[in-house]
Structure 1
Amino acid sequence: MGSDNQRTRLPAQTYGTGRVEAFSDGVIAVAITLLVLDLRVPEPIAGVSLAHSLGELWPNYLAYVISFLAIGIMWINHHSMMKRLMAVDHSALVLNLLLLLCIVALPFTTALFSTYLNDRSGAHLAAVIYAGSFLVTSVVFVALQWLLVVRRPYLLSEPLTPVQRRSILLRGAVAVPAYLLAALAGLLTPYLTLAVCIGLGIFYFVPLGPRFASAAGR
């Protein structure tokens, strides 16, 4: 009954979340699948073992795992965000579309980084572009969260407490300075970019606990 009353108070220019979520899931699924295209079977070379050939492809494997986890975590957070909504408006649709634009570009920047990681002439720029693509994606995601949590709370199916609101925004915002650091680190060494991205992946892979939520509410 309460949900029905909330729906009647929604502005006229709002839309259901079903199609948005289905479209987003499809686009993210394509993006995460495209990552595997950078994993190629090594060509047989006389006198070179398969183990050696596979070992030389370690940048491809590592970049694949990092990007797969990053996109997967984005999907989990996007799914959780959508489940909190009962409707979206035009601004939310535009930001969501911009987010998908950024996510679809990640397989390209991943392939670029893995290809040039061991190339002295291009490794630094490739690392900056790789981390920069995640930085832009994170900025857009945080902007979408801020719009829905702060500017459009009436789109939520249930109101958030101040603690919940701060926790969501703070946890999402961590990625912005972290990926900026990863991009700047790429100017020194691309391996430091890898280290920061791995650390950030581990941070987001750990579920949000009540202790973090309490700290965020202070």
Structure 2
Amino acid sequence: MTDTGRLETFADGVFAIAITLLVLGIRIPDAHEGLAPALANQWPSFFAYVVSFLTIGIMWVQHHRLFTVIGRSNPTFAMINVVFLMFIAFVPFPTQVLAQRVFVDRQGWLLATFLYGGTMVAIAILFNAIWAYAAARNGHLLREKVAIAVREVGARGYRFGPPLYGLITLLALVHPVVSLIGFAAFAAYWALPISGVLTGGDQTG
């Protein structure tokens, strides 16, 4: 067993780089273009940027909260986090693809939505895997004296992420714009105040 310091530092770096790369999907207008129409035409890029920035930011907050009660690591746990971070680093790509396909062609827009949604489903599944592995075997990676209630609430709080992201993605079959609205609304899901329990690491189990 090792402490989580290096893993947390690595995760913070990946989150910071991924969230910064999102802005590269917004094109700087040429000097000869009218600025107002050039910016207005890029509204899908601005929209996708905001949604993905908030999503990555909130996931970083939740990842940080997990480590207020996770005190140890091992190679398996580290690898789960590495795969999770691989998908976090991938987010700028489907974000830009989706922004470029909005209202361009229906089939391409649908495929881009599935690419974006599939990425979010994978991230949500891996986030659950991080918590599930840490809390398994009577909380073998959790800090000492973490209450049983913390483990139970953590599991309940995060398990709805994958199916809900999957449902939002499938709503693109109705119309891709429905999924866009769903992704924007669901970004708030990751900000649910379950941290009040997760930070209660001084409770006895």
Q: TM-score, normalised by structure 1?
A: 0.83
Shift of 1:207: 2.6
Decide whether aligned partners of structure 1 residues 210 and 72 sit closer, same or farther in structure 2, where only a CA change above 3 A counts.
closer
Equivalent position SS for 2:173: coil
Opposite residue 25 of structure 1, the aligned amino acid is D
**Paired residues for 1:134-153 under 5 Å:** 134-151=120-137, 153=139
Residue 201 of structure 2 is matched in structure 1 by none
Using the TM superposition, give the Cα deviation of residue 188 of structure 1 relative to its aligned residue in structure 2, in angstroms. 2.6
Q: 1:41 is matched with which residue: 28, 32, 41?
A: 28
Partner residue of 2:84 out of 99, 102, 117: 99
Kindly indicate whether residue 13 of structure 2 is the aligned counterpart of residue 16 of structure 1. no
In 2, the alpha carbon distance for the partners of 1:70 and 1:152 equals: 31
- What is residue 72 of structure 1 aligned with on the other side? 57
Q: Residues of 2 paired with 1:64 and 1:15: CA distance?
A: 36
Supply the distance in 1 between the matched residues of 2:149 and 2:139 (Cα, whole angstroms).
14
Contact 1:128/1:182 (CA < 8 Å) preserved in 2? Answer: no
Q: Which has the larger radius of gyration?
A: 1
- Aligned with residue 155 of structure 1, among 124, 141, 154: 141
2: CA distance between counterparts of 1:18 and 1:147? 18
Aligned residues: 196
Deviations 1:73-93 (A, max 9, x none): 111111111222221012101
CA contact (8 A) 1:175 1:200 kept: no
Q: Is residue 109 from structure 1 mapped to residue 94 from structure 2 by the alignment?
A: yes
Q: Deviations over 1:165-198 (max 9, x none)?
A: 2221122112111110121112232211111111
Structure 1: any 5+ residue segments left out of the alignment?
A: 1-13, 212-218
Q: What is residue 3 of structure 1 aligned with on the other side? A: none
Q: Does 1:53 align with 2:56?
A: no
Could you tell me whether the CA contact under 8 Å between 1:125 and 1:186 is conserved in 2? no
* Alignment partners' CA distance in 2, 1:86 and 1:209: 16
User: How big is the shift at 1:209?
Assistant: 7.4
Q: Which runs of 5+ in 2 are unaligned?
A: 198-205
Does the aligned pair in 2 maintain the 1:124–1:190 contact within 8 Å?
A: yes
- Identical residues among aligned pairs (%): 32
1:153–1:159 CA contact under 8 A, matched in 2: no
> Bigger shift: 113-122 or 90-99?
113-122
